[in-house]
Amino acid sequence: MISRHKKCHIITFGCQMNEYDSLRMAQILSDTYRLTPFAEDADLILINTCSIREKAEHKLYSLLGRLRPLKQKKPGLKIGVTGCVAQQLGKRLFSRAPHIDIVAGPQGLYGLPRALKAIEDGKTHIAMTRLEDKFQIPQVSVPLPIRRPTRAFVTIMQGCDNFCTYCIVPFVRGREMSRPPQDILSEIRSLVEQGVKDITLLGQNVNSYGKNLPEPVEFPDLLRAIDDRFPELRLRFTTSHPKDLSDDLISCFSSLQGLCEHLHLPVQSGSNSILRRMNRKYTIEQYLEKVEKLRKTCPGITITTDIIVGFPGETDKDFQDTISLLEIVRFDQIFTFKYSERPGTAAATFTDSVPEEVRKERLQQVIELQNRIGLEQYRRLENSVMECLIEKGQGMKLQGRTRGNHVVNIIENKQLVGQTVNVFIEKACHHSLKGRLVN
Ligand code: 5AD
Ligand code: SF4
């Protein structure tokens, strides 16, 4: 039987929130389009972009260049650019790449069905980049088309009001707006019905969840409501801003059965003067106090972080403070970024930029240090038995995840995807563990 559906190919750059938005696009287009993994087969190609660092933008332009011959061969093919770069550049993208048909920001993507209809009616170059202050993520009745059977992400809030001076997010994702708890709970229910067992709640700053709802809700209350209704579900969230990490939220790590022992808490720098210039609104002393509380409440909790090196004005001393911080906290994993100037942000006007060579050197130094610390942290898990949810299995290889978010590789030829098993950890590697099943 020939499908009545056209084919859509989605390419996603950037963060988990973009991954979620891509699923949302597939969901809202599912009346007319089915996903295809092949760009050559597609009637519609959507590129969901990220503008957090400049490199992500370059990737978009080279991809658009590669898609041009495809469009020449197949004039009916439609190309849309969505996400943060689309929001930032808007109509300017059409002059840079006239073979694009639609440009839609993170809020505008919900207008895709309408825009595609308008293109079919003969319109060209449609841009949807208005940012509404009171934007609400619409509720859609068809389920999210998830690809991985066990793990999924659910956006609980959109936008950010923090304006860290390096960050483009508040400009491209707009003001903070939370989804009502009932929308979130019904989306989680639908994912659980599809077999999902591990859910990460997403927001730029989940700690401010619920403040702007007609009936305000605190984030820990949302966690309690989810844990109460889905006690079997592994629950995680990201990202948490250190300035707003409350005692109530910390206590959830000991009181909620489903909440996994894992927190991503971006520190960005170990220097108080850089944190001030970044507008982060906490000091290193306050950060360390929260880490201590977390470890007291939930011994063994996995703590991960983001570090930016080479922020304008970062001296050798400031950088050494970051190095010391890594030694003090001993994160399980860190995500490292070379500062990248983003047009329109406050830091883009700072004149004391750090030379590229120095940024590179500092990045290398941080990576090397963390490679050692990370491995030492992982080695502490050797010879223990850990609860592992199996996410993938092929041939003799199974791959699972601990509650603390460690990836575990297991040599075993069994069909266990979706099951939680006990695993004896034999060896720690960089960023993963090796183990065997325990009967
Ligand atoms: N340059 C480098 N890194 C950045 N990040 C955000 N903006 C920039 C930038 N302009 C990093 C931060 C943030 C992570 C998602 O990306 O560390 O936590
Ligand atoms: Fe960007 Fe800061 Fe908002 Fe995070 S909290 S999205 S770093 S402005």
- Name which residue sits closest to atom 9 of ligand 1, judged by CA: 340
167 lines ligand 2 (CB under 6 A): yes
pLDDT category, 201, cuts 50, 70, 90? Answer: very high
Query: Looking at residue 169, what is its pLDDT?
Result: 94
Please tell me the least confidently modeled range out of 146-160, 218-232, 278-292.
146-160
Span 388-425, pLDDT tens digits: 999 998 878 999 999 999 999 999 888 899 999 999 99
Segment 81-101 mean pLDDT: 94
User: For 106-112, what is the mean pLDDT?
Assistant: 94
Query: What is the residue type of 396?
Result: M
Span 316-338, mean pLDDT? Answer: 98
Report CA-CA distances (Å) from 316 to 39, 409, 435: 47, 39, 41
> How many Å lie between the centroid of ligand 1 and the Cα of residue 13?
15
Q: Name the band, by pLDDT with cuts 50, 70 and 90, for residue 195.
A: very high
In this predicted structure, what is the pLDDT of residue 134?
84
Token pair of 173 as six digits: 């994702």
Q: Return the percentage of the chain with pLDDT > 70, whole number.
A: 99
Domains plus CATH for the chain? 6-128 (3.40.50.12160), 132-260 (3.30.750.210), 385-437 (2.40.50.140)
Burial profile 404-414: b = 16 or more Cβ within 10 angstroms, e = fewer: bbbebbbebee
Mean pLDDT of 69-77: 91
DSSP 227: H
This prediction's pTM: 0.94
**Which atom of ligand 2 lies closest to the CA of 163?**
8
| Pairwise CA distance, residues 254 & 171, whole Å | 36
Q: Give the pLDDT of residue 139.
A: 84
Q: 337, 353, 366: which to mutate for ligand 1, most atoms within 8 A of CB?
A: 337
- Span from the CA of 4 to the centroid of ligand 2 (angstroms): 43
Mutate to test the pocket of ligand 2, among 164, 306, 339 (most ligand atoms within 8 A of CB): 164
Q: How does residue 3 score in pLDDT terms, banded at 50, 70 and 90?
A: low
What backbone torsions phi and psi does residue 345 show, to the nearest 5 degrees?
Answer: -85, 160
The tokens for 355 are 């030379």
With cut-offs at 50, 70 and 90, classify the pLDDT of residue 140. confident
Ligand number with the minimum distance to the CA of 281: 2
Cα–Cα dist 232/246, whole Å? 25
**Residue 57, pLDDT above cutoff 90:** no
